[in-house]
Amino acid sequence: MGDILAHESELLGLVQEYLDFAEFEDTLKTFSKECKVKGKLLCKTADGSLRDSKSLIIQKDLVAAFDGGDQKAFFDLWEEHVPNSIRDGDSLAQKLEFYLHIHFAIYLLKYSIGRPELDERISYFKRQKGQR
């Protein structure tokens, strides 16, 4: 419990960032108001506004590519914005990347009627799996 309290401000900031990202405007207002009433400090971004931040745009682009099954766009953004040191050195990032490749490999099975790219995606997944 002590570890959670030590990072409470950061956790509250993450909740705030998510609510802002997901555009839960009323919930965000209520959350911010309640944190203020309870005397809880929220982490702020450098400019104080997540909505205008470059990272929010990148996050939305990543989510759109993920939800739309656009593997190339997603991994172009992933490689551009996630440093090599993290992708290659962090086991959690590698696990996430593995699951992302699975998502895109089976996306066409779930959501596409004509599957012209299916074999290509499965081959790409196998190559990626072999490299890790």
What type of residue sits at position 86?
Answer: I
User: Would you state the pLDDT for residue 4?
Assistant: 56
Model pTM greater than 0.85? no
User: Would you state the pLDDT for residue 51?
Assistant: 47
Using alpha carbons only, give the angle 26, 28, 29 rounded to the nearest 5 degrees: 65
* Nearest-angstrom CA–CA distance, 15 and 5: 15
User: Would you state the pLDDT for residue 75?
Assistant: 95
Q: Which tens digit of pLDDT belongs to each residue from 37-58? A: 988 877 654 444 554 577 888 8
In the chain, which stretches have pLDDT less than 50? 1, 45-48, 51
